[in-house]
Amino acid sequence: MDKKRFSLLVAFIALFSFTVKAQEATDNIRINHIGFYVQGPKVAIVVDPKSEKFSIIPVGGKDTVFSGTLKKMGTWEYSAENVSKADFSKFTKPGSYILHVQGIGSSYPFEIKHSVHYEPAKGSLRFYYYQRASIALEEKYAGAKFARKAGHPDNEVYVHASAATDKRPEGAVISSSKGWYDAGDYNKYIVNSGISTYTLMNLYENYPKYFDTLKLNIPESGNNIPDILDEVLWNLKWMITMQDEDGGVYHKLTNANFDGSVMPDAATNKRWVVMKSTAASLDFAAVMAQASRVYKKYNKAFADSCLKGAIKAYAWAKKNPSKLYNQPMMNSKFNPDIQTGAYDDGNVTDEFQWAAIELWVATGKTGYYEDANIEISLRNGFGLPGWANVNTLGLYTIARQQGSDFPEQREMLTLAKEKVISMANEYKQYANNVSKFGIPMGMSSGDFGWGSNSFCANEGMLLMQAYMLTNETGYMDAAIASLDYLLGRNGTGYCYFTGIGSSTPSASLGLW
């Protein structure tokens, strides 16, 4: 709900008759700004409550429709706040509401309804469209606010000296268009494309019937390919251009330095493909092997080419197992120092394992299975996924193969399933029994590093993998708690999904 509508919220009654103006909504009630599923968990966190009671009141109404007792949780170490929990999961009537605590005030409004997160979910997927390079964003797809001219055609990209070969010497020109811009700059990186592209294809693999009909209003909508896979194709086709003829894959396509705060069409600095790396080649191999499975029923020739590229990239990495990325400092006029995002990774064991797993599942060849060395790693070799920690993505792929065409590895498939569940159990138990905010986020202080929302999202993804393997709602409930964190039940009270919710980082900074 926007600020103008929110300012019109009427007075309401909690324990006694009194009025509370909408602009007095407090950030001290940390709640999912969007809302809750009818039959799902419904939890808010209240900071330093002055009362033991809370009330649920319809937006625009007066009468309390649900009330409950706050549960004291203690001090959350990450915000040093004394908090209590308001649990209204038993309230299941659809509608728009606010939560009130006497002496604290009212929450931001929220909804209870089926498919409550449908529009935010579509928005998060459409974000990739807005990140496209080499294309104008037309108003009919991007809206008047975000329509823009095309930037970075990348049809004349130079081979940096760090990437030069006899066939492609320094200064050679290649075409490497399409792809997605990185989070905060106009460069394109293979390594973090790995986990992003895998995640979207994994989403499709898990829920194909849903995504077969989901329309995202992108230029390709209406063709014979689901919109989510059309969006992934924009990045896959760029990734394919980043593979050299020998199979190795350039680490990134980049300016020498970051652009300033300019629109894409005004950013016209020379662009380079930089250094082939083991990590980039293995991430490429894993994603392309996965793509060969996902796209086979839509375009077999494309799927076959993806698998061919994956095999070549993996072979290059085995011949070059220690080509770890370092920022090239050339001290040359023609080949400048490179000072953009490094995405360097000093340990590529997990990349080797992920690529081997994806190639094994794609081809059934035992050599890849043997390379993956899965049984040993199942003891302690997997952790929460991130761009530099990717072998658990392969574990998700393995766990989904229960009852499939790998009878000789049936015991290993069972162990992989058990490992995913065991990892998810740690986050579920932490959320239910340890966290003062009742969320998986915070099991380690490292959860709050750079890009911390991705940690939260990956925790939710792990929990959903466990739910799909077990059908136990406790995992889904913990995953929903991760979503609640992203949408407002966190140490700031902001909805981290900018542009929706009553208080977002962009709104507070005056950016919209």
Q: For the segment 233-276, what is each residue's pLDDT rounded down to a tens digit?
A: 999 999 999 999 999 999 999 999 999 899 999 999 999 999 99
**What would the two tokens of residue 163 be?**
């990437």
Q: With 70 as the cut, is the pLDDT of residue 293 above it?
A: yes
Q: Are 187 and 340 in contact (CB under 8 A)?
A: yes
State the architecture of 3-116 in CATH terms: Sandwich (2.60)
Amino acid at 335: N
Residue 18: the pLDDT is: 29
Quick one: residue 134, left, alpha or beta (phi over 0 = left, psi -120 to 50 = alpha)?
left
Residue 100: the pLDDT is: 97
Residues 148-181 have pLDDT tens digits of: 999 999 999 999 999 999 999 999 999 999 999 9
Of residues 139, 138, 174, 130, the one with CA closest to residue 153: 174
Residues of the chain with CATH 2.60.40.10: 3-116
Mean pLDDT of the chain: 91
Q: With 90 as the cut, is the pLDDT of residue 2 above it?
A: no
Q: Quick one: fold of 151-400?
A: Glycosyltransferase (1.50.10)
Residues listed for the chain: 512
Distances (CA, A) of 168 to 177, 239, 323: 18, 18, 18
- Angstrom distance (rounded) from CA 37 to CA 479: 13
Tell me 171's DSSP state.
Answer: T
pLDDT band at residue 332 using 50, 70 and 90 as cut-offs? low
- Angstrom distance (rounded) from CA 431 to CA 452: 17
Residue 24: the pLDDT is: 64
Angle at 264 between CA 260 and CA 265, to 5 degrees: 115
Residues 354-376 have pLDDT tens digits of: 999 999 999 999 999 999 999 87
- Angstrom distance (rounded) from CA 512 to CA 506: 6
- Angstrom distance (rounded) from CA 161 to CA 174: 14
Q: With 90 as the cut, is the pLDDT of residue 353 above it?
A: yes
Residue 331: the pLDDT is: 61
Distances (CA, A) of 80 to 30, 72, 125, 226, 487: 15, 15, 34, 46, 20
What are residue 137's phi and psi, to 5 degrees?
-95, 105
Q: Who has greater pLDDT, 472 or 501?
A: 472
Residues of the chain with CATH 1.50.10.10: 151-400
Residues 386-407 have pLDDT tens digits of: 999 999 999 999 998 876 777 7
- Angstrom distance (rounded) from CA 227 to CA 218: 7
pTM over 0.75: yes
